[in-house]
Amino acid sequence: HSRGHIAYLIADCLFCGDTLFAAGCGRLRGGTHAQLLSSLQQISQLPTATQIYCSHEYTAANLVFAQTVEPNNIDISARREEAAALRHANKPTLPSNLALELKTNPFLRCDKSTVVERVEQHVSQRLNDELAVFTALRLWKDSF
């Protein structure tokens, strides 16, 4: 997200600020795509039961984008329904957990063929590595 940004891992709880969001990730504010991807890759290696505490309640909007990227991902569809019900009841969608993020967050899925193919389709070119996919995906989200 930015060069001075930090995260705290306390027991099975990750307080990650604006680096990782529910179904999304932060915009670049002074860092590089490679740095942000590296941070997300490190987070993705934590135990799947890790609770994710991010800074903002962007879940519903992020899931709209996630479903645009992976329209046939049933986990995203189910999560959108759950998030809508929670927000309708005036309840938060947070915290999330890493297991759910690994199934529904496109920024943690840049190595999955469904994400790669959709991003390549969006930019009308072949992308050669995970960083290229991540960069194109983040730029797509910036203008979504």
Q: Do 107 and 24 touch, CB atoms closer than 8 A?
A: yes
Going by C-alpha positions, the residue among 23, 18, 21 that lies closest to residue 104 is 23
Contact 24, 105 (CB under 8 A): yes
Per-residue pLDDT at 126 exceeds 60 = yes
In a domain, 23, yes or no: yes
> What burial letters (b/e) apply to 2-23, b meaning 16+ CB within 10 Å?
beebebeeeeeebebbbbbbbb
Let me know if residue 141 belongs to a domain: no
Residue 52 sits at φ, ψ, to 5 deg, of -105, 115
Domain-located, residue 124: no
Whether residue 37 lies inside any domain: the answer is yes
**Does residue 113 sit within a domain?**
no
pTM: 0.95
Q: What tens digit of pLDDT does each residue of 63-92 get?
A: 999 999 999 999 999 999 999 999 999 999
User: What domain range is 97 assigned to?
Assistant: 8-105
pLDDT digits (tens, 9 = 90+) for 32-68: 999 999 999 999 999 999 999 999 999 999 999 999 9
Peptide bond into 95 cis (omega under 30): yes
